[in-house]
């Protein structure tokens, strides 16, 4: 499972791959719950669950209780030529289950964590681009 965590102050994001044992400890948590960052190797932080997606690629919806997939009506636009139109969209529920493959989180409490360690620089990718140019 992938955990994507973001810093609302700086706008930085990063991701970590975590084991299925950690996912098992999160089963039953819902969107909006705050979890300890030490589960994901981010010691001292508190993370708020903001969403995710399941193994079929359907996004989690906060307004849908449970962990099943359902079709919901979503408004297309509030103004313009599509005003008042809806579309049916399949979404996953707001509860984490064993089918979740990506979990989106946001840092709400930094504790004693070092931000530069949490968001590593991507120097390797820049070096590869320079090598391709040559």
**Residue 132: band (very low, low, confident or very high) from pLDDT cuts 50, 70, 90:** low
Q: Which residue has the tokens 């399941």?
A: 54
Task: Tell me the CA distances in angstroms from 122 to 11, 30, 106, 119, one per residue in order.
Answer: 15, 32, 20, 9
Residue 8 located in a structural domain: yes
The predicted structure's pLDDT at residue 37: 85
Could you tell me the residue range of the domain that residue 103 belongs to? 2-66+95-133
Residue 72 located in a structural domain: no
Burial class (CB in 10 A: 0-12, 13-18, 19+), 49: buried
Residue 33 located in a structural domain: yes
Under DSSP, is residue 98 helix (H, G, I), strand (E, B) or coil? Answer: coil
pTM of the full structure: 0.79
Residue 121 located in a structural domain: yes
Q: Which residue has the tokens 């706008």?
A: 11
Contact 64, 94 (CB under 8 A): yes
Residue 88 located in a structural domain: no
Residue 7 located in a structural domain: yes
**Residue 4: band (very low, low, confident or very high) from pLDDT cuts 50, 70, 90:** very high
Residue 80 located in a structural domain: no
Contact 102, 51 (CB under 8 A): no
Residue 120 located in a structural domain: yes
The predicted structure's pLDDT at residue 19: 87
How many folded domains does the chain comprise? 1
The predicted structure's pLDDT at residue 126: 59
């Amino acid at each position: 499972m992938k955990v994507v965590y973001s810093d609302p102050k700086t706008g930085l994001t990063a991701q970590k791959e975590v084991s299925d044992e950690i996912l098992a400890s999160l089963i039953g948590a819902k969107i909006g719950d705050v979890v300890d960052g030490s589960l994901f190797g981010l010691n001292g932080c508190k993370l708020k669950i903001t969403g995710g997606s399941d193994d079929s690629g359907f996004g989690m919806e906060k307004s849908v209780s449970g962990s099943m997939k359902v079709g919901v009506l979503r408004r297309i636009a509030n103004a313009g030529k599509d005003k008042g139109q809806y579309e049916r969209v399949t979404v996953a529920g707001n509860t984490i289950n064993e089918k979740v493959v990506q979990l989106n989180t946001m840092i709400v409490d930094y504790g004693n964590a070092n931000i530069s360690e949490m968001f590593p620089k991507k120097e390797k990718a820049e070096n590869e681009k320079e090598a391709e140019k040559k």
